[in-house]
Amino acid sequence: MGMPPPYASPFDLNEEVLRWYDSLLKGIGNGLDHEKPVRIFVMGKSDWREEDDWPLALAKATGITCTRPSQRTVLKEAAR
Those residues whose C-beta lies under 8 Å from the C-beta of residue 57, and which sit 6 or more positions away, are none
Q: Is residue 2 part of a domain?
A: no
Find out whether 50 and 38 touch, Cβ atoms under 8 Å: yes
Percent of residues, the chain, with pLDDT higher than 70 = 71
pTM, two decimal places: 0.56
Domain, as residue range, for 34: 13-79
Q: Is residue 47 part of a domain?
A: yes
Mean pLDDT for the chain? Answer: 80
- Cα–Cα separations (whole angstroms), residue 33 to 18, 19, 28, 63, 65: 14, 10, 11, 35, 39
Q: Is residue 3 part of a domain?
A: no
In total, how many domains does the chain have? Answer: 1
Q: Is residue 7 part of a domain?
A: no
Q: Is residue 54 part of a domain?
A: yes
Find out whether 1 and 7 touch, Cβ atoms under 8 Å: no
Note the pLDDT tens digit of each residue in 29-63. 999 999 999 988 888 888 889 999 999 988 888 87
